Structure 1
Amino acid sequence: MAVDIKDVEQVAQELQQKFDDFKAKNDKRVDAIEQEKGKLAGQVETLNGKLSELENLKSDLEKELLELKRPAGGAQNKLATEHKEAFVGFLRKGREDGLRDLERKALQVGTDEDGGYAVPEALDRNILTLLKDEVVMRQEATVITVGGSDYKKLVNLGGTASGWVGETDERSQTATSKLGLIEPFMGEIYGNPQATQKMLDDAFFNVEAWINSELATEFAEQEEIAFTTGDGTKKPKGFLAYESTDETDKVRAFGKLQHIVSGEVTAVTADAIIKLIYTLRKAHRTGAKFMMNNNSLFAIRLLKDSEGTWPAVQNDRYGSRLWLLQRSKLTNQLVQTVRGYIRECLQWMTDDGVVSRIDLDIRRTGINELGNSITLWRRDGPVMISFDDLWSAITHGGQ
């Protein structure tokens, strides 16, 4: 059968049309893939940027955490470091180099607008740390930071009254607590250490360590004097400068200290020290400490009892805990409780005329021993009973 040329052309046209349709669809698909690829590449680039930011933040955080763990403490950020370097440069060469702006940005405290420059935080903290190690009063006192000299503190003096009433009785008004005002004496302490220009020009001369050493030593001596005996004129008022009296807490005016007479004009007696301990209110005994100079400490350590020793100086515990206070307090409470309980248990014997008198001998016979006995006075003479035997009979129901 003969093939018509028109049929061949028609078939060719149909094939060409199908190919063109396929090519158009394929081109669209390829274009879509390229577009998605470009979009994905953009997302990957954005993600890489975010990862870089996170890595930088991680590095900064690790650096800050490392600085926090340093012995000096605190976060020495970049601005603080720049301020410290500029301050040292000012000390060495007298160059300001924007020191005023740096200290405003780096420090968390106010600066003096009338002149002078603030000490970098790390250097200031080192001086305070050295002062705490050297000044006894700073170790024992409560140290607070205030923004000015007008600081006052209210103290509750007590005085709130109460009373017992029946369930339906009328409740009358009771007295309220009184408040006292404490206003500390303020002052500034300064130091002006001198260094030669040759020292400052020496690259190996540690200016920071030199300032720490010079100022901390002088400040420590001056603070110890002021906090102990200061007169309150442009400086703190020391506790020994306050008026004192031998009046008790309930009688003594607020703001006055109480003193105990030592017992002798030129010496301290053991009785006076024991009286001092037990004059102190119970609430204040826990954690209380003796504070004395070397001569007083030496004299007290030489005190002895009738047996040639004194329990207060055993175990070398002066300056840490009141060993005598703890030991004596427990013993005293035990004796007082037992004495009253024994008398109550034996009271029937005197009431019924079995004995005429009961004597309790509860005393210390040694540093760690108590000698205790009860003497019953009968018509035919005294009868002494061991404290341990009687106590066992009372507590265990014996006869």
Structure 2
Amino acid sequence: MDRNNDGFEIKAGAGTDVAALFAEFSSAFEEFKRTNDDRLKDIEKRGAADGLIEGKLERLNAVLDGHKAALDRASAERARPALEGKGALGTNEHKEAFSAYVKRGEEKALQVGVGSDGGYLVPGEVETTITRLMTAISPIRAIAGVRQVSSAIYKRPITVTGPVTGWVGETASRPTTDSQVLAELNYPTTELYAMPAATSAFLEDAAVDVGHWIADEVNAAFAAQETTAFVSGNGVNKPTGFLAAPMVDETSWSWGNLGYVATGTSGALPSSNPSDVLIDLVYALKAGYRQNASWVMNRKTQGSLRKLRDADGNYLWQPAATADGRASFMGFPLVEAEDMPNIGANSLSVAFGDFRRGYLIVDRQGVNVLRDPYSSKPYVLFYTTKRVGGGIADYDAIKLLKFGAS
């Protein structure tokens, strides 16, 4: 941990005491507010802020980010599910056989779980643990819709417009009305892999829980790759991210495009009443989506918006009420996704929407492990794969803030 010039620690590790971390985070935010209030008073009096105050504010921003990251890691560790449950998908016999396969490569007496390529299907409990851990550390997966499928492509029909209706008199004729317009969305699943390595001595250690070890090794790698793809993936051998969708100004929105609201200023919020454009973005979303909406942005963008206040002097950004909760912005939950772009000319750095309805993640059932003791001696490699897809599910459920003139 580093201690900055203002006496606050920038957390490098998670620590173990979540309550203490949360108390330190709250204290740092109070100091941040006092410093930012001083900065705004300087701007009102002199037209510019003191450089020392600006520097202190940036350091406090870094402190807050460090505390938030430490809290997230500590909360995820505390919430980690136990592997030794009684899940119906993984019998004790299957788990023991899987353990033997991982440790020694033994495939004798295996009656279930052998993949067509010679690999071994991970027992259900371990597979579920990997998915849960990814939910905890992959921000988009935590808020998006998720569906498990058994085929390579998931097809989803959707009604773009409903049937035409009309009022008629009691004895008037009933002309035929236009039918609803249907569209079909396709979500192909593509392969995501990780290849942890271990020595034979490590695997032969009786104390090693091989299922837990595989889950720990691959979940971080899978989560990082997934989040990037869900945000900006181009759909080539990976999911299609929501930022890869066609974009149009909200006033010209039509199905098949994501709508955006422009700030009117290239690479920045408006200099006068900067929060007004954020209010416009909130109300660009229909009420049915807005009630379950979240903000999505990266750490640097969040740091910039953290300084904003409303007309009554209240900060629009508020820390989580509990240690394992989410920060909020303008009353809506805020999700930190580092793959969102930094604020720049014409950047789409802020997303707001009901991601549960707006973005769909498709998981093909099963995580497969192929043991390779030959390619990298003295290490044993474990080629671990899963198939996942993703794409826009409802083009009207997500809106974006464009930092541009139009």
Q: Quote how far apart the aligned CAs of 1:257 are.
A: 0.6
Given that residues 250 and 284 in structure 2 are in contact (C-alpha distance below 8 angstroms), is that contact kept between their aligned partners in structure 1?
no
Given that residues 89 and 123 in structure 2 are in contact (C-alpha distance below 8 angstroms), is that contact kept between their aligned partners in structure 1?
no
Alignment match, 1:176:
179
**Structure with the higher fraction of residues in strand conformation:** 2
Match of 2:238 among 223, 235, 249: 235
Q: Quote how far apart the aligned CAs of 1:323 are.
A: 4.8
Alignment match, 2:74:
none
State the secondary structure of the residue aligned to 1:184: strand
Given that residues 288 and 322 in structure 1 are in contact (C-alpha distance below 8 angstroms), is that contact kept between their aligned partners in structure 2?
no
Equivalent positions of 1:40-189 (< 5 A) are 72=85, 74-75=87-88, 80-99=91-110, 101-103=111-113, 112-189=115-192
**Structure with the higher fraction of residues in helix conformation:** 1
- Partner Cα separation in structure 1 for residue 331 and residue 112 of structure 2: 56
- Partner Cα separation in structure 2 for residue 70 and residue 96 of structure 1: 22
Verify: 1:265 aligned to 2:266, yes or no. Answer: yes
- Partner Cα separation in structure 1 for residue 318 and residue 285 of structure 2: 22
State the secondary structure of the residue aligned to 2:190: coil
Task: Note the alpha carbon deviations across 1:238-282, whole angstroms, 9 max, x for none.
Answer: 11111111144xx53422111111332222331211010111112
Q: Quote how far apart the aligned CAs of 1:325 are.
A: 7.6
Q: Quote how far apart the aligned CAs of 1:210 are.
A: 1.3
Q: Quote how far apart the aligned CAs of 1:142 are.
A: 1.6
Alignment match, 1:342:
none
Q: Quote how far apart the aligned CAs of 1:178 are.
A: 0.5
Over the residues paired in the alignment, what is the CA RMSD in angstroms?
Answer: 2.7
Larger Rg: 1
Given that residues 72 and 125 in structure 1 are in contact (C-alpha distance below 8 angstroms), is that contact kept between their aligned partners in structure 2?
no
Alignment match, 1:290:
295
- Partner Cα separation in structure 2 for residue 127 and residue 325 of structure 1: 28
Alignment match, 1:313:
317
Verify: 1:302 aligned to 2:307, yes or no. Answer: yes
Given that residues 319 and 326 in structure 2 are in contact (C-alpha distance below 8 angstroms), is that contact kept between their aligned partners in structure 1?
no
- Partner Cα separation in structure 2 for residue 324 and residue 143 of structure 1: 25
Q: Quote how far apart the aligned CAs of 1:321 are.
A: 6.5
Match of 1:203 among 206, 225, 236: 206
State the secondary structure of the residue aligned to 2:262: coil
Q: Quote how far apart the aligned CAs of 1:167 are.
A: 1.3
Query: 5+ unaligned residues in a row in structure 1: which ranges?
Result: 1-68, 104-110, 327-399
State the secondary structure of the residue aligned to 1:297: helix
Q: Quote how far apart the aligned CAs of 1:76 are.
A: 6.5
Higher relative contact order (CA 8 A, sep 6+): 2
- Partner Cα separation in structure 2 for residue 217 and residue 315 of structure 1: 25
- Partner Cα separation in structure 2 for residue 73 and residue 223 of structure 1: 28
- Partner Cα separation in structure 2 for residue 271 and residue 144 of structure 1: 37
1:71/1:160 Cα in 2 relative to 1: closer, same or farther (>3 Å)? farther
State the secondary structure of the residue aligned to 1:126: helix
Q: Partner letter of residue 260 of structure 1?
A: V
State the secondary structure of the residue aligned to 2:238: coil
Q: Quote how far apart the aligned CAs of 1:204 are.
A: 2.0
State the secondary structure of the residue aligned to 1:139: helix
- Partner Cα separation in structure 1 for residue 276 and residue 184 of structure 2: 35
State the secondary structure of the residue aligned to 2:133: helix
Verify: 1:245 aligned to 2:245, yes or no. Answer: no
State the secondary structure of the residue aligned to 1:235: coil
Q: Quote how far apart the aligned CAs of 1:315 are.
A: 6.8
State the secondary structure of the residue aligned to 2:135: helix
Given that residues 161 and 180 in structure 2 are in contact (C-alpha distance below 8 angstroms), is that contact kept between their aligned partners in structure 1?
yes
Q: Partner letter of residue 164 of structure 1?
A: W
Using the size of structure 1 for normalisation, the TM-score is 0.56
Given that residues 83 and 212 in structure 2 are in contact (C-alpha distance below 8 angstroms), is that contact kept between their aligned partners in structure 1?
no
- Partner Cα separation in structure 1 for residue 329 and residue 303 of structure 2: 17
Equivalent positions of 1:330-369 (< 5 A) are none
Query: 5+ unaligned residues in a row in structure 2: which ranges?
Result: 1-81, 334-406
Given that residues 319 and 328 in structure 2 are in contact (C-alpha distance below 8 angstroms), is that contact kept between their aligned partners in structure 1?
no
Q: Quote how far apart the aligned CAs of 1:209 are.
A: 1.9
Given that residues 156 and 184 in structure 2 are in contact (C-alpha distance below 8 angstroms), is that contact kept between their aligned partners in structure 1?
yes
- Partner Cα separation in structure 1 for residue 97 and residue 177 of structure 2: 64
Question: Once the two structures are aligned, what percentage of the paired residues are identical?
Answer: 33
Given that residues 246 and 258 in structure 1 are in contact (C-alpha distance below 8 angstroms), is that contact kept between their aligned partners in structure 2?
yes
Q: Quote how far apart the aligned CAs of 1:113 are.
A: 2.1
Q: Partner letter of residue 75 of structure 1?
A: A
Q: Quote how far apart the aligned CAs of 1:305 are.
A: 4.0
1:134/1:294 Cα in 2 relative to 1: closer, same or farther (>3 Å)? same
Task: Note the alpha carbon deviations across 1:137-176, whole angstroms, 9 max, x for none.
Answer: 1111221111112221011112422222221111212222
- Partner Cα separation in structure 1 for residue 279 and residue 212 of structure 2: 46
Verify: 1:275 aligned to 2:275, yes or no. Answer: no
- Partner Cα separation in structure 2 for residue 72 and residue 255 of structure 1: 44
Q: Partner letter of residue 90 of structure 1?
A: Y
Given that residues 191 and 215 in structure 1 are in contact (C-alpha distance below 8 angstroms), is that contact kept between their aligned partners in structure 2?
yes
Using the size of structure 2 for normalisation, the TM-score is 0.55
Question: Displaced runs of 4+ in structure 1, greater than 6 A?
Answer: none
Q: Quote how far apart the aligned CAs of 1:70 are.
A: 8.6
